[in-house]
Amino acid sequence: MIREIPILDLKAQHRILSADLLQAIAGVLEDGHFILGPNVESFENEFAAYLGVEHAIGLNSGTDALHLALRALDIGPGDEVVTSTFSFIATAEAISIVGAKPVFVDIDPRTYALDPRRVEEAVTPRTRAIVPVHLYGTPAPMTDILSIARRHGLAIVEDCAQSIGATINGRMTGSFGTISAFSFFPSKNLGACGDGGMVVTDHADLAARIRALRAHGGRKKYFHEEVGLNSRLDEIQAAVLRIKLRHLEEWTRARRAVAERYNDGLAELTSLQTPFEEPGCRNVYHQYTIGTPRRDELQTFLRAHAISTMIYYPLPLHLQPAYAHLGGKPGDLPNAEAAAASVLSLPISPDLEREDQDHVIEVIREFSSALSAA
Ligand SMILES: *Cc1c(COP(=O)(O)O)cnc(C)c1O
């Protein structure tokens, strides 16, 4: 019998935690406090402590976390924000929502993160901030980005939606930026049972501003200093996330063990690019993403063997129809365009069975030897 191997299986995690999760949810139902109650407050404190930052503010989603970070920095119409063209659309959307212009730059093909040299070239007198993305859980080069930001007086908003727990010289991603954004979308390394997000910062004024913005722009009920929105992490999700946060380090270790097994199993296939980990950095492998010029054929071959894979992302942001008005053309940002044509993310989760993973490795090897024989 052929067993389906999904790219991500959340059911295993929820089976293991089900008694704890149901008890936590029942506690919220009994308490009857659904919005901005004790679980949100405790989770914010636990999250800030985990990252080693001063303030954490729970929000509706990672998209709102990025958007409210930019709002709190007073970035808006007439401003430019430099970001990677190789990301999920939400990174750019947040910049557009506040009325600023995303300026897309090319990536370093090893890390898939924005290339600091390209960032420096993209800075103009209108630039206000840089939004680096730690794509796939691989840390972006924050040392270089920090020095560019300092030289030009720019803010940094880290997009940590895929990088919770990733470190650079022992320091967590999300602790480098002026404000950083996290997502608890269910498939993320720390996922809720619904939508959720968080911003973190060491700046008390920015934290207070975001707390007000998430609740209609007021610091006191029914008094509104500015126009805000409704973007709150809810109690049930916070109760779920508090339980999951206690397992995150163990899950990260398990993900890294899976990644190492892939690295070993695929090492001799020299036509594949395996994920990069800079010395001193901890990659948390939100995705285990390989690069190969025969990507589409390999994906079809894996699918025929009941193995699911995904392409994150098939079209860089500068070529998305939503950004056609910015005038991006094929060939403008060649490293990202090459990545979009060659990346493939393999099944990974803390609970991936060893025999399933070995089967994935075997099928990829079979594909490669069929190619070299042909
Ligand atoms: C998931 C994700 C987001 C958006 O998070 P949501 O919680 O889904 O709004 C932003 N940026 C990146 C890189 C992501 O992967």
Convert the pLDDT of each residue in 100-143 to its tens digit: 999 999 999 999 999 999 999 999 999 999 999 999 999 999 99
- Residue with the two structure tokens 């056609």: 324
> Ligand 1: does its nearest atom lie under 6 Å from the Cβ of 132?
no
Q: What pLDDT score was predicted for residue 56?
A: 98
Residue 235 has pLDDT above 70, yes or no: yes
Rounded Cα–Cα distance for residues 367 and 193 (Å): 37
Nearest CA to ligand 1 atom 5: 62
Average pLDDT, the chain: 96
Hey, is 158 helix, strand or coil? Answer: strand
Give mean pLDDT, residues 174-197: 98
Here the tokens at position 9 are 């299986």
Q: What pLDDT score was predicted for residue 6?
A: 92
> Ligand 1: does its nearest atom lie under 6 Å from the Cβ of 61?
yes
Per-residue exposure over 118-139, b if at least 16 CB sit within 10 Å of its own CB, e if not: bbbebbeeebbbbbbbbbbbbb
Ligand 1 binding pocket mutation candidate from 91, 134, 199, 286 (most atoms within 8 A of CB): 91
Q: What pLDDT score was predicted for residue 1?
A: 54
> Ligand 1: does its nearest atom lie under 6 Å from the Cβ of 60?
no
Give mean pLDDT, residues 332-349: 98
Residue 373 has pLDDT above 80, yes or no: no
353 contact partners, CB below 8 Å, separation of at least 6 = none
Residue 341 has pLDDT above 60, yes or no: yes
> Ligand 1: does its nearest atom lie under 6 Å from the Cβ of 137?
no
Q: Kindly report each contact of residues 324-327 with a partner whose C-beta sits within 8 Å and lies 24 or more positions away, as own/partner.
A: 326/101, 326/102, 326/104
Give mean pLDDT, residues 328-349: 98
Residue 275 phi/psi, 5-degree rounding, is -60, 155
Residue 345 pLDDT class (50, 70, 90 cuts)? very high
Contact status, residue 313 vs residue 340, Cβ threshold 8 Å: yes
Residue 26 has pLDDT above 80, yes or no: yes
Q: What pLDDT score was predicted for residue 371?
A: 79
Convert the pLDDT of each residue in 56-94 to its tens digit: 999 999 999 999 999 999 999 999 999 999 999 999 999
Residue 365 has pLDDT above 80, yes or no: yes
Q: What pLDDT score was predicted for residue 334?
A: 98
Here the tokens at position 163 are 């990088």
> Ligand 1: does its nearest atom lie under 6 Å from the Cβ of 90?
yes
Q: Which CATH architecture fits 248-373?
A: Alpha-Beta Complex (3.90)
Q: What pLDDT score was predicted for residue 369?
A: 87
Residue 240 has pLDDT above 60, yes or no: yes
Domain ranges of the chain: 10-104+112-245, 248-373
Q: Which atom of ligand 1 is nearest to the CA of 64?
A: 9
Give mean pLDDT, residues 291-304: 97
Q: Which CATH architecture fits 10-104+112-245?
A: 3-Layer(aba) Sandwich (3.40)
Q: What pLDDT score was predicted for residue 374?
A: 65
Here the tokens at position 346 are 């393999």
Residue 10 has pLDDT above 90, yes or no: no
Question: Ligand 1 mean position to 218 CA, how many Å?
Answer: 26
Residue 2 has pLDDT above 90, yes or no: no
- CA 59-238-181 angle, 5° bins: 35
